[in-house]
Amino acid sequence: MMETFQELEMYKNFDELAEDVIDLAKEILPDQLFYLSSITEAQQIVLKHSLNTSSIPVAEGMVLDLNDTLCSRMDFENKQPLVYEDVQGAPELKHIEDKLEAAHVRSYLGLPISFVNGDRFGTLCAVNDEKSQFDARSITLLQRIVRMFSYYLDLERFAYRDSLTDLYNRHFLTRFFDGNSKAGGSIFFLDLDGFKNVNDLYGHETGDLVLKEVAAKLQQFIEGQTDVLAARLGGDEFLICFAKPVSAEELSEWATRLLASLSQWEADYSLSASIGIAQYPAGGNQDLRELLRQADHALYQAKKSGKNCYSFY
């Protein structure tokens, strides 16, 4: 959820455009309560909603267990709308019947919102505390609005994401660090050992696949952690930023675990990684460029020590 809100905060005019989406949707189906949401693996977060004259409780910033929502049934792969003109009596909704009744939701229309690469963003939903009728023309118009909103999301995302690995880029890292450095933290500066040999022996296409797999390993490593960001700086250089105080002992344990992951490959690439670690205190005016210089120096020491290891600045 941190990533969702951190990224959306940097999107230009997101609030204004989200409100426009809601307003346009209300023009099509004025009797419905509309809300725009973001979806993670486990949660649904309400970002914007229309004026609520119904008995349905909804608020911006509301976080819901995804399994308890109708949006959990959304067909993101085929980008198909989900329609319930009357939720009562639907056998597939038996497990959330009590929750729908408590929320006074009687009808529902949901449209999936995805990025161009297929990743889920969230939903545009219309709900009512009474039965509704959703005609095909209205659904088609709402789908067009969602499609235009998706184009906007992709344009903004491209500004902050590495095009090959889909990790955050240096631009996003800088803004993330500037907004989250007061609490203190640390960075891992990673460089792959033997990556040039992969390109030379197997070709650059294989090299790109390796970089994508490294990115996947980094995402898996930080999964479930708060205030942690993975980025690609360029080439075979990556960075993990911990925007929170972490002890040297914990950093050592994490670096050891990460090195083990980055030295295990199905193909015989003879590939590993080295890590330079730099820490910074809370409350100071930290300079990211200086911190990167320190981490780079520590990385150089790790390389000198035989590679496939880490070093503190």
Q: Kindly list the catalytic residues.
A: 236
81: which residues sit within 8 A by CB, 6+ positions away?
Answer: 109, 110, 111, 112, 139, 142, 143
Q: Tokens 């790790």, residue?
A: 302
Amino acid at position 108, single letter: Y
> Using CA atoms in the order 211, 215, 220, 224, what is the torsion angle rounded to 10 degrees?
170
Backbone angles phi, psi at 306, to 5 degrees: 120, 5
71: which residues sit within 8 A by CB, 6+ positions away?
Answer: 37, 39, 44, 82, 110, 122, 123, 125
User: Which CB contacts under 8 angstroms, 24+ apart, belong to 301-308?
Assistant: 301/276, 302/274, 302/275, 302/276, 303/191, 303/193, 303/274, 307/193, 307/272, 307/274, 308/193, 308/259, 308/263, 308/272, 308/273, 308/274
Collapsing DSSP to helix, strand or coil, 169 comes out as: coil
- Sheet of 43-49: strand order equals 63-65, 43-49, 33-39, 120-128, 107-114, 82-84
